[in-house]
Amino acid sequence: MATLFLIILLSAAHALSFALSLEIHYYRNSCPRAELIVKQIVKKHFQQDQSVPAGLLRGAAYALPTGRRDGNVSKIEEVHLPSPYFSIQAAEAAFKSINLDVVDLTTLLGAHGVGFCHCGLLNDRLYNYQGTGLSDPRIPPALLASLKQKCPPEVVLPSNLTVDAKIFLNQATSSPFVLDSSFYQGLINQKALLQLDQDLAYTDLSLKWAKRFVRKPKRFIHQFSKSMIKLGNVGVLTGKDGEIRQNCRKVNKDTSTSSKTLP
């Protein structure tokens, strides 16, 4: 799930465009219940499988501008897939390329406060930090012992990345499926699991915002809403550009219909 969220954040890194035509309740005439239907479907899937990254249903609530169309070209090689092992500097540069700043980076990584992480993503930190053959010395001893028990060496091989055991991303909460600011308390206490997440505690501005979110949890929810809307304005296609996909996983076969709009 961690990788999935990072894909969502950065896959449009070289296609910056602002949503001048997006609006709240875009489908009010063509499909008045569209937003409610989407919410109900996501909620249903979340209830069936809480590993689905849908903690937003139980955290931030905000009006999201709609009217965005899908691209009619989809190539895996054009997806900018960032690694959870990104340095904070590389992550900042990637966000800057799509007009997002350090505040947005710090805020949006707060989504790692919900759901699971595969053990395979922790291989370096647990067993070969920076090629030393040792564990990351920043991990508290008690947490390190617990993680090694859950993620033994034979489990964390990269080849097992999608089939290995899963552990909660947020080690600082008793409610791992509720989006709140507890993630930041964890990283301040060296308990963030992903290297990129923990590195937020080592730059002045990101640490400043992390501490602010811990002191004022509602500030995190407010800023998360702002940053998500800002992210949603990246790489937008509107009007007759792109298409409305019949299946969101793939482009429509008949490209001649790509400019059709909803009735």
Give the tens place of pLDDT for each residue, 34-79. Answer: 778 877 887 787 777 665 654 444 455 556 666 666 777 766 665 5
Q: What is the mean pLDDT of the chain?
A: 76
Q: Express as a percent the part of the chain with pLDDT over 70.
A: 69
> What pLDDT, on the 0 to 100 scale, is given for residue 51?
58
Is 197 assigned a ligand-binding role in the annotation? Answer: no
Closest CA to 122 of 160, 177, 174: 160
Domain 2-115+169-257 has CATH 1.10.420.10: yes
Question: How far apart, in whole angstroms, are the C-alpha atoms of residue 158 and residue 162?
Answer: 9
Q: What are phi and psi of 139, to 5 degrees?
A: -75, 125
Instruction: Indicate whether 8 pLDDT > 50.
Output: no
Q: Is the pLDDT of residue 143 over 80?
A: yes
112 touches 183 (CB < 8 A): yes
Q: What's residue 56's pLDDT?
A: 47
Q: Is the pLDDT of residue 259 over 70?
A: no
pLDDT of 178 reads: 82
Q: Give the C-alpha separation, 252 to 134, whole Å.
A: 49
Is 84 annotated in a binding site? The answer is no
Q: What is the pLDDT at residue 68?
A: 64
Of 22-31, 35-44, 157-166, 223-232, the range with the highest mean pLDDT is 223-232
Q: How far apart (Å, rounded) are the C-alpha atoms in residues 259 and 130? A: 49
Cα–Cα distances (Å) from 134 to 4, 106, 171, 173, in that order, read: 28, 28, 21, 27
pLDDT at residue 206 tops 90? yes
Once rounded to an integer, what is the mean pLDDT over residues 97-104?
91
Of the listed ranges 46-50, 181-185, 188-192, the one predicted with least confidence: 46-50
pLDDT at position 109: 92
State the pLDDT at residue 21.
Answer: 55
Q: Please report the pLDDT score of residue 174 as a whole number.
A: 79
Could you state, in order of their start, the residue ranges of all structural domains in the chain?
A: 2-115+169-257
Does the annotation list 112 as a binding residue?
yes
* All residues at 6 or more sequence positions from 136 whose CB lies less than 8 Å from its CB, including other chains: 124, 125, 126, 129, 195
User: Predicted confidence band at 84 (pLDDT cuts at 50, 70, 90)?
Assistant: confident
Spatial separation of the C-alpha atoms in residues 99 and 101, rounded to whole Å: 7
Place of tokens 């001048």: 20
Question: Among residues 126, 118, 101, which one has the least CA distance to residue 160?
Answer: 118
CA distances from 72 to 34, 100, 243, 259 (A): 22, 25, 6, 10
